[in-house]
Structure 1
Amino acid sequence: MAAQFRNYDCIVIGAGVHGSFTAYNLAKKNKKTILLEQFVLPHSRGSSHGQTRVIRKAYDRDYYTQMMEECYQLWSQLEKEANVKLYRRTGLLVMGPERGLAYPAIKSTLERNKLPIVTLQREEFSQHIPNVNLSQGHGALVDMTAGVLYADRTLRTVQVRVYWYSRHPKGCHFDLMCTRCRLYRAKSLVIRAGPWANTLLSHTGLQLPLQVLKINVCYWKEKVPGFYNVQNRFPCFIQLESEEAKHDIYGLPSNEYPGLMKICYHSGPETDPDERDRQTDRGDIDILQRYITSCFPGLVPIPAIVESCMYTVTPDSHFVLDHHPTHPNIVIGAGFSGHGFKFGPIVGKLLCELSQGEVPSYDLSPFRIRRFQALSKSAL
């Protein structure tokens, strides 16, 4: 019997935040779309789960800061459309070596783009940020626009909006399937498979230099409840890499688990996405314990809860947003390197534009596959 195909304008693989926003943008363009996901939703096997993420404009590259300008507008638009709160402004405390590379670059980018920041002098730091110790030789500033993004709520909201658009008069046809055994055909394909990106791309003759890392998502108990509470306007923070820690450390105020502050190391051991639970390396937790003992005296320096997430990291920590080099109807979004969630609305918009042959809204040269030409396992 001949195979029976279901025909679509676009197939999107992966129902994480970027895949869901891609389907959302396709639905608004009235494109017949199917969003494929290997796990039953909601699930915690990829990179888009969890209750919270940091949202910020504090970057060392202008293009990220400028993309986030529109991102904030799109997050606000989604909040109004769905009548649900997705973001809470807290500010973001950025700390790092004043004579290093990252801290001066972020400060310069924020100032160049005329964003509201407050630079904290060492002698007044404890008055503004109590119960945090600023390391010797480190500077501190606050990105006033930053805050907490409610991740799980966001993912549910955008998926519900896709369904709304597909069932609205004159709306597109949309399907969301958890499937491995049906046949589908479309004019274009968007691969947003997170840690499984190279598994899928191997069937197209392409391998990207992507590394999958397991991240221990740690929550630390307040010695006195309320010190680091979101209701008390304690900010999110990033401790930029220093002599004590090779990678950044970031944290969010107590919110999702009352009395527990989320603080994580921005790296982890390499893993196979299908075997991540076998990876038990806790070296990152040792680093966090030393940091918390030194800089957060109001926290118990033993994690109360440890959950898991995965990063898919590129060599330069920048995204991949591009057409497949030999199959231009395949669009790839990959390698978000642990800082891509907040860009969900823009990434979805850009992947939709690429899949429809439109001119992208932003210059995508920093995100092109060709930058890996010397590193890739296949000729690009």
Structure 2
Amino acid sequence: MEVYDSIVVGAGIEGSSTAYHLVKNGHHTLLLEQFPLPHSRGSSHGQSRITRMAYGGADYYTEMMKEAYKLWEVLEKESGTTLYKKTGLLLVGKAEEDLIDGTVRALRKYSVPFTSLDGRALGKKYPMLKYSQDITGVEDHTGGVLFADKALAAFQGQFVKQGGILRDNEAMVDVFPGDIVTVKTNKGSYRGRNLVLTVGPWATKVLPSLGIHIPLKAIRISVFYWKEKVPGTYGAETFPTFLAANGSGDFDVYGLPSLEYPGLYKLCLHYGPEIDPDRRDDTDSAWVLDNMKTFVANHFPLLEPHPAVTETCIYTNTPDHDLVLDRHPAWRNIIIGAGFSGHGFKLSPVVGKVLSELVMQKSPSYNLSYFKIDRFHKSAKL
């Protein structure tokens, strides 16, 4: 039976990026995906994602994003596809909040161009927003929109173009670790010297079967599109991508200009109910819509009060919202990428590079101590 250098399971954005980096480094690589491509059942579908260098309280992501922007440009050139639209990003909250203050520190540290706006300046520049004078803004001038579906297709297309093998509609059903790892699917078996697991929300099911117990939660996100009362008010030429701080060091609402559906602005809550990824519609999320309708009424006066379109996505959250990029504690040729917590898409070119470095036993390009499995419980061993 053929032995691959690497088998990557999960062809979302992280797995596709990892497979792309591996094949570029000469690894004979198989990329497996359980659903027919393209699909909308995981975390990588849809047309748009926010990209930014602004990261309050976690400036290691700002450092990683500096390279991510460059790698997105490389992929654009290789694929001949536009993957990014620069709109800037606006982060709003109280000046003393961790996210606002930490973002300013991170942007200064890494010499990222930004502008701070006090309450008066915020209201003057963005009259389509409604906030009190004690709310400030930070503009990350590098922020913008990634065209998600095109980015995913570009990684997969370049992977195949360079000799990678992509098999979709083929679900992994078992893993047999060893010096040569055997992956059994619903259609056959494959052998590889290395295995990379980037299985998105299914990590909550796959990893425990391999003795890895990370406190992951699959969260269903309701993706709302709201009609503009005045067309163009929140368009990409007039309004940036948007984050609203919630006082806890994170943000709770995010928005993207009306690009996907003409005249519809994408504005969503950054959390939702915990779900089983195989039964994501079994959970009541009416409270998410209620929260967002209140938010729109309070802060986005030029949007209609009810969403025109509703879609769904799944986050896989860790308790600290940091990623998991690590080796299996017992089988060093099994590499795990998980827990991207709703902010991993923009980082995917660097995530794929780092996971491929772990596979190839190279020194990682970044400090991975933040992303270790054992940070949740130091006894995380079989």
> Is 2:278 the partner of 1:274?
yes
Give yes or no for contact 2:216–2:317 (8 Å, CA) kept in 1: yes
Give the distance between the partners of 1:282 and 1:51, measured in 2 at CA: 24
CA RMSD of aligned residues (A): 1.6
Please, which moves more after superposition, 253-262 or 196-205? 196-205
TM-score between the two structures when normalised by the length of structure 1 = 0.93
Give yes or no for contact 1:194–1:312 (8 Å, CA) kept in 2: yes
Which residue in 1 is equivalent to 2:240? 235
Which residue in 2 is equivalent to 1:345? 349
Give yes or no for contact 1:10–1:189 (8 Å, CA) kept in 2: yes
Give the distance between the partners of 2:121 and 2:4, measured in 1 at CA: 59
CA, structure 1 residues 139+163, in 2 after alignment: closer, same or farther (shift >3 Å)?
A: same
Deviation at 1:178, TM superposition (A): 2.7
Deviation at 1:127, TM superposition (A): 2.8
Give the distance between the partners of 1:207 and 1:124, measured in 2 at CA: 48
CA, structure 1 residues 262+15, in 2 after alignment: closer, same or farther (shift >3 Å)?
A: same
- Encode CA deviations 1:220-270: one digit per residue, 9 max, x unaligned: 11011111111x231011001149x99510100111001100001110000
Please give the secondary structure, in 1, of the residue aligned with 2:32: strand
Please give the secondary structure, in 1, of the residue aligned with 2:277: coil
Which residue in 2 is equivalent to 1:35? 31
> Is 2:146 the partner of 1:149?
yes
Give the distance between the partners of 2:102 and 2:362, measured in 1 at CA: 33
Please, which moves more after superposition, 105-114 or 245-254? 245-254
Give the distance between the partners of 1:178 and 1:95, measured in 2 at CA: 42
Counterpart residue identity of residue 45, structure 2 = H
> Matches of residues 53-64 of structure 1 in structure 2 within 5 Å?
53-60=49-56, 61-64=58-61
Deviation at 1:128, TM superposition (A): 1.6
> Is 2:87 the partner of 1:76?
no
Counterpart residue identity of residue 165, structure 1 = Q
Counterpart residue identity of residue 165, structure 2 = F
Please give the secondary structure, in 1, of the residue aligned with 2:158: helix
Deviation at 1:23, TM superposition (A): 0.7
Give yes or no for contact 2:114–2:138 (8 Å, CA) kept in 1: yes
Counterpart residue identity of residue 30, structure 1 = G
TM-score between the two structures when normalised by the length of structure 2 = 0.92
Counterpart residue identity of residue 178, structure 1 = N
Counterpart residue identity of residue 152, structure 1 = D
> Is 2:150 the partner of 1:138?
no
Deviation at 1:336, TM superposition (A): 0.3
- Encode CA deviations 1:312-344: one digit per residue, 9 max, x unaligned: 000100000000111111000000000000011
Give the distance between the partners of 1:203 and 1:337, measured in 2 at CA: 21
Give yes or no for contact 1:373–1:379 (8 Å, CA) kept in 2: no
Give the distance between the partners of 1:99 and 1:123, measured in 2 at CA: 17
> Is 2:308 the partner of 1:317?
no
Give yes or no for contact 2:9–2:197 (8 Å, CA) kept in 1: yes
Give the distance between the partners of 1:301 and 1:6, measured in 2 at CA: 57
> Matches of residues 79-158 of structure 1 in structure 2 within 5 Å?
79-158=76-155
Identity over aligned pairs, percent: 46
> Is 2:12 the partner of 1:16?
yes
Deviation at 1:54, TM superposition (A): 0.2
Counterpart residue identity of residue 347, structure 1 = V
CA, structure 1 residues 135+340, in 2 after alignment: closer, same or farther (shift >3 Å)?
A: farther
